[in-house]
Amino acid sequence: FTHQGIPYPVTMCTSETFQALDTFEARSDDIVLASYPKCGSNWLLHIVKFPVLECGDPEKYQSRPLHNLFCKLTVCIFKRMKQFSSPRILATHLHYDKLPGSIFENNAKILVLFRNPKDTAVSFFHFHNDVPDIPSYGSWDEFFRQFMKGQVSWGSYFDFAINWNKHIDDANVKFILYEDLKENLTSGVKQIAEFLGFSLTEEQIETISTRSTFQAMRAKSQETHGAVGRFLFRKGKIALVSGISSEVGDWKNLFRETQSQAMDEKFQECGSGYSPFPIHRA
């Protein structure tokens, strides 16, 4: 399904979805999680739901299972969402300008998660080819070409970045990098909780961090995400950046030198300030 030039998975978006989004009524205490696919959206959701559910309001947690709290903004049954009590978590892969206006009118808080585009592309490629029932690609080279043109589900990573980056300084918006979370999860959890207005103890922050590591989440993936879990928690690696990490970015296993250069050039072409992702970490 294509809407305004962007391809979407038909299982998640139809013309009815976009019509429903136009009239969606956001609340001021909604929490929006925005990310391009494979940037770690399930990770961020997991971190956010702990402060909201467990630490922020343990009583509500008892009576509120996740399916009454969280919804993918494009997939949800909008009527049912009206009945959700606050706070609601709305996860989305949509560009800023495709979100319902009421999110901004009501100043809902928005967390925007980014990841190095090279690791994102590799993760996306594997996701397409590993998960049954979604279209797969014949080769990495074919996927890379489509990714660079933005002819993949949810459109171009680069357009998504340009679109969101215009709002990096908005008061109700906070940008987070996957790589920063990976480097220092405790600090990331603390910043996220503060932005959302939860005052957590050091102990609570430690608990959330311990439960949100890649290993901890992967170990429970079958329980939390069913059969698709093992595809959602594949490797959890980050780019090798001197002085920042000793883990090798997964992208190096697939990118040819020319492809790496082409993506670097795309960064340059977009000009400085186009992306919240620091160029030296790409």
Interface residue with ligand A3P among 174, 234, 252, 266 (CB under 6 A) is 234
Residue 238 · residue 178 · CB < 8 Å: yes
Residue from 72, 145, 211, 235 in contact with ligand A3P (CB under 6 A) = 235
With binding defined as CB under 6 A, does residue 176 bind ligand A3P? no
Identify which of 233, 159, 138, 114 has the alpha carbon closest to the alpha carbon of residue 7. 159
* Site size with ligand A3P, rule: CB under 6 A: 23
Residue 275 binds ligand A3P (CB under 6 A): no
Two tokens at 189? 């959890």
Q: Please confirm, yes or no, whether 93 is among the known catalytic residues.
A: yes
In the window 114-153, what residues touch ligand A3P (CB under 6 A)? 119, 123, 126
| Binding residues among 19-38 for ligand A3P as defined by CB under 6 A | 35, 37-38
Q: Give the shortest CB-27-to-ligand A3P separation in angstroms.
A: 24
Q: Using the rule CB under 6 A, which residue among 13, 24, 30, 42 binds ligand A3P?
A: 42
Task: Please report how close the Cβ of residue 245 comes to ligand A3P at its closest, in angstroms.
Answer: 12
Look at residues 198, 70, 92 and name the one whose alpha carbon lies nearest to residue 155: 92
Give the C-alpha separation, 172 to 105, whole Å: 11
Q: Which of 24, 31, 33, 43 binds ligand A3P (CB under 6 A)?
A: 43
Pick one of 114, 233, 255, 277: the residue that binds ligand A3P (CB under 6 A). Answer: 233
Whether 53 and 64 have beta carbons less than 8 Å apart is answered as: yes
> How many whole angstroms separate alpha carbon 81 and alpha carbon 78?
5
* 160 contributes a contact to ligand A3P by CB under 6 A: no
Q: Looking at the DSSP assignment, which residues form a beta bridge with residue 72?
A: 91
Find all residues with CB under 8 Å of 259, minimum gap 6, and list them: 144
Which 237-256 residues touch ligand A3P, going by CB under 6 A?
A: 237, 250
Q: Verify binding: residue 232, ligand A3P, rule CB under 6 A.
A: yes
**156 scored as a contact of ligand A3P (CB under 6 A):** no
Measured CA distances, 215 to 12, 36, 211, 234, 252 (Å): 29, 23, 9, 10, 22
Query: Is there a contact between 39 and 181 (Cβ–Cβ < 8 Å)?
Result: no
Active site residue: 46, 67, 93, 128, which one?
93
Give SS3 for 83. Answer: coil
- For residues 116 and 239, is the Cβ–Cβ distance under 8 A? yes
In the chain, % helix, strand, coil (3-state, to 5) comes to 50, 10, 40
Question: Please, which residue, 74 or 212, has the CB nearer to ligand A3P?
Answer: 212
Work out which of 40, 87, 100, 117 binds ligand A3P, going by CB under 6 A. 40
Q: For ligand A3P, what does the binding mask look like between residues 187 and 226, x meaning CB under 6 A?
A: -------------------------xxx--x---------
Q: Say whether residue 155 binds ligand A3P (CB under 6 A).
A: no
Closest CA to 121 of 223, 16, 239: 239
Of the pair 14, 224, the CB lying nearest ligand A3P is at 224
Q: Which residues are catalytic?
A: 93
The contact set with ligand A3P (CB under 6 A) reads 35, 37-43, 119, 123, 126, 182, 212-214, 217, 232-237, 250
